[in-house]
Amino acid sequence: MAAEWWKKAVVYQIYPRSFKDSNGDGIGDLNGITEKLDYLKELGVDVIWVSPMYCSPMDDNGYDISDYYKVDPMFGTNDDMDRLLAEAEKRGMKVILDLVVNHCSDEHQWFVKAKQDPDCEEAGYFYFRRKEDGGEPNNWRSNFGGSVWTELPDGRWYFHTFSKKQPDLNWENPKLREKIYEMINWWLEKGVAGFRVDAITFIKKDLTFASRETEDGLRYPIENLTDYPGIGDFLAEMKEKCFDLHDCMTVAEAPGVGEETFRRYAGEHGYFSMIFDFTWENMEGEADKSSVEAVERWKQRILKSQRFTSEIGWNGLFLENHDQSRCVNKYLEKDQIGYAGASAMAVMYFYLYGTPFIYQGQEIGMTNAVWNSIEEMDDVRAKGMYREALEQKKDPQKVLEYFGELGRDNARTPMQWCNEKNAGFTEGTPWLKVNENYQDINVKAQEARDDSLLAFYRRLTALRHQEPYASVFAEGTVRPVMEELPAVIAYEREWNGRTVTVAVNFKKTEQEIPAINGALSAAGNPTEGTCLLSNEGEPERIGERYLLKAYQAVVFDGKMV
């Protein structure tokens, strides 16, 4: 099973800009990551996913790449990258990179040339259209607001799914595809263990580029055009020419892929090792977040997703990433934010069917920041939407509120290492403001305490690695249990005759659940199950029941009575 090492792995996502600054320029960098490898090792991390650190004008913080082969000076040098890889390897950890190939930067040499000369080879690497009567070639709306088309001085328009500084690459062009594969293999040969694959369901276009009708008469959202017919040819080819040649893991960001299409993407012979299933993970906050009803809705989505993904493929499990607000804010009401809720959510997702991903700061319970103005924000998406609201004469304050709650900057504030200046992230001026609550929420304070969220995360990862449970989680089936109990999310994982039961009470009050028994004794009598993990101490057994406290989460070796 060497090829499936990633099934037992715990992955940690690093947003390099915000993780650790090693040279005082206010921007996190590769040497900063290397400095913190021991911290990650102790946390129980096997694989580090580094968000883009390639040369980039940073319109979308590195998701707009101008040189795929070079580390941006802002983050260090290629030598620093080599050192990071070597130091990680020394500690038995692997590194995966972000693969951003739906688009590049408008400052990439390819696009610079294509702009200058409509007849050059590179002009064929992009989508250019012209309209007789001028005007946008169609009515599609980009993911960051506004048209997907931007006009060049010579009257050509180029296509971009995201910002206008992120021109889409033309995957129809075999030369371009070869260039991409060459680059992927170059990194894999360097010792990178795989990729998180960005926005990959956008790479195939509807080549008619015909305008589409919308109910509100506004632009047609490009996000409705993911996984377009024919995309499989490109993805299968990339797998065959790159991923299959290496023992690597790939996890795709695949918006639009659901139950019907999951197999093609993340089934046994899918294009990728796994995908993130956005049907429940990308949930936007709800007004009554931690009400029983909201938890029940969340539960149904999670269980549904587990049902189909476990039958046909493999999952990347997450509560947070660099595009989401912090999970404690997403799923908990303000007065519930804290250790109990955060650790309960952690248990809930960590032992599901799939590979768990932790996003930087999640392990200490970092929260959303308070945003007072659009100027305080950095996110190109928030700024684009703000501009669009102004253009459409909508209330920009609403946009500000929306992004304050759900915006991507919430996850991008600097990592909170200690209670000193700038939370120990930088000696200089941080590129994005530090969350005011760093005095209370930081690594150093939590390292000093056994009852901190950080200490609990270490126990979480330890159980994920401890045999035979590691095999139960990597190989076992998943089955929902206690489904009728309101706001309880519970499931059994079973493998090779062993059952692990996970139960989480998301109610704000205590609640009874059925007790859990272990194997029969030699005399044939039932034994009590062994509590492997609990965020609030071992639950009290009253006959055939356990009493769980509010937000108590337990993991047992055994089966529900």
Which of 9, 10, 14, 27 is close enough to bind Ca ion by CB under 5 A? 27
The amino acid sitting at 146 is: G
Q: What's the CA gap between 532 and 463, in Å, rounded?
A: 8
Q: Which does 87 bind (CB under 5 to 8 A by kind): ligand GLC, Ca ion, none?
A: none
Which of 21, 72, 253, 492 is close enough to bind ligand GLC by CB under 6 A? 253
Q: What's the CA gap between 556 and 561, in Å, rounded?
A: 12
The minimum distance between CB 239 and ligand GLC, in angstroms, equals 20
Q: Is residue 148 near ligand GLC by the rule CB under 6 A? A: no
Contact positions with ligand GLC (CB under 6 A) in 269-328: 322-323
Closest residue to bound ligand GLC by CB: 63
Give the interface size with Ca ion as a residue count (CB under 5 A): 5
- The mark string for 170-189 relative to ligand GLC (x by CB under 6 A, - otherwise) is --------------------
**Which tokens hold the place of 169?**
């690459």
The minimum distance between CB 18 and Ca ion, in angstroms, equals 11
Q: What's the CA gap between 186 and 3, in Å, rounded?
A: 20
The minimum distance between CB 162 and ligand GLC, in angstroms, equals 4
Q: Which does 253 bind (CB under 5 to 8 A by kind): ligand GLC, Ca ion, none?
A: ligand GLC
In the complex with ligand GLC, the residue whose CB is nearer, 251 or 532, is 251
The minimum distance between CB 21 and Ca ion, in angstroms, equals 4
| Maximum Cα–Cα distance across the chain | 88
Q: Is residue 257 near ligand GLC by the rule CB under 6 A? A: no
Q: List beta partners, residue 500.
A: 493, 557
In the complex with ligand GLC, the residue whose CB is nearer, 166 or 517, is 166
Q: What's the CA gap between 518 and 498, in Å, rounded?
A: 9
Q: Is residue 23 near Ca ion by the rule CB under 5 A? A: yes
Q: What stretches of 316-425 show up as alpha helix (H) in DSSP?
A: 327-331, 339-350, 380-391, 396-406
Which of 11, 65, 99, 100 is close enough to bind ligand GLC by CB under 6 A? 100
Burial class (CB in 10 A: 0-12, 13-18, 19+), 414: buried
In the complex with ligand GLC, the residue whose CB is nearer, 314 or 359, is 359
Q: Which of 253, 277, 363, 536 is catalytic?
A: 253
Q: What's the CA gap between 299 and 506, in Å, rounded?
A: 10
Contact positions with ligand GLC (CB under 6 A) in 468-487: none
Q: Which does 198 bind (CB under 5 to 8 A by kind): ligand GLC, Ca ion, none?
A: ligand GLC
Q: Is residue 21 near Ca ion by the rule CB under 5 A? A: yes
Half-sphere exposure in the Cβ direction for 246 (13 Å, CA): 23
Cβ-based neighbours of 334, under 8 Å, separated by 6 or more: none
Q: Is residue 106 near ligand GLC by the rule CB under 6 A? A: no
Q: What's the CA gap between 241 and 339, in Å, rounded?
A: 46
The minimum distance between CB 244 and ligand GLC, in angstroms, equals 24
Q: What's the CA gap between 420 and 89, in Å, rounded?
A: 31
Q: Is residue 63 near ligand GLC by the rule CB under 6 A? A: yes
In the complex with ligand GLC, the residue whose CB is nearer, 67 or 494, is 67
Q: Is residue 60 near ligand GLC by the rule CB under 6 A? A: yes
Contact by Cβ (8 Å): 262, 313? yes
Residue with tokens 């390292």: 447
Q: Is residue 162 near ligand GLC by the rule CB under 6 A? A: yes
Closest residue to bound Ca ion by CB: 29
Give the interface size with ligand GLC as a residue count (CB under 6 A): 9
Cβ-based neighbours of 244, under 8 Å, separated by 6 or more: none
Q: Which does 409 bind (CB under 5 to 8 A by kind): ligand GLC, Ca ion, none?
A: none
Distance of CA 400 to the CA centre of its chain: 23
Q: Is residue 198 near ligand GLC by the rule CB under 6 A? A: yes
Q: Is residue 429 near Ca ion by the rule CB under 5 A? A: no
The amino acid sitting at 176 is: L
The minimum distance between CB 102 and ligand GLC, in angstroms, equals 7
Examine the residue annotation and report whether 253 is marked as an active-site residue of this protein.
Answer: yes
Q: Is residue 53 near ligand GLC by the rule CB under 6 A? A: no
Burial class (CB in 10 A: 0-12, 13-18, 19+), 282: middle
The minimum distance between CB 457 and ligand GLC, in angstroms, equals 23
In the complex with ligand GLC, the residue whose CB is nearer, 29 or 60, is 60
Q: What's the CA gap between 28 and 32, in Å, rounded?
A: 6
Q: What's the CA gap between 41 and 512, in Å, rounded?
A: 37
Examine the residue annotation and report whether 198 is marked as an active-site residue of this protein.
Answer: yes
The minimum distance between CB 31 and Ca ion, in angstroms, equals 8
The dihedrals phi and psi of 516, each to the nearest 5 degrees, come to -125, 130
Q: Is residue 223 near ligand GLC by the rule CB under 6 A? A: no
Q: Is residue 199 near ligand GLC by the rule CB under 6 A? A: yes
Q: In 3D, which of 251, 222, 202, 226 has the Cα closest to residue 102?
A: 202
Q: What's the CA gap between 214 and 557, in Å, rounded?
A: 53
Q: Which of 29, 122, 198, 378 is catalytic?
A: 198
Q: Percentage helix, strand, coil, to 5, in the chain?
A: 35, 20, 45
Q: What stretches of 107-173 show up as alpha helix (H) in DSSP?
A: 109-116
Q: Which does 162 bind (CB under 5 to 8 A by kind): ligand GLC, Ca ion, none?
A: ligand GLC
The minimum distance between CB 424 and ligand GLC, in angstroms, equals 25
Q: What's the CA gap between 93 and 44, in Å, rounded?
A: 10
Positions touching ligand GLC (CB under 6 A) are 60, 63, 100, 162, 198-199, 253, 322-323
Catalytic positions, please?
198, 253
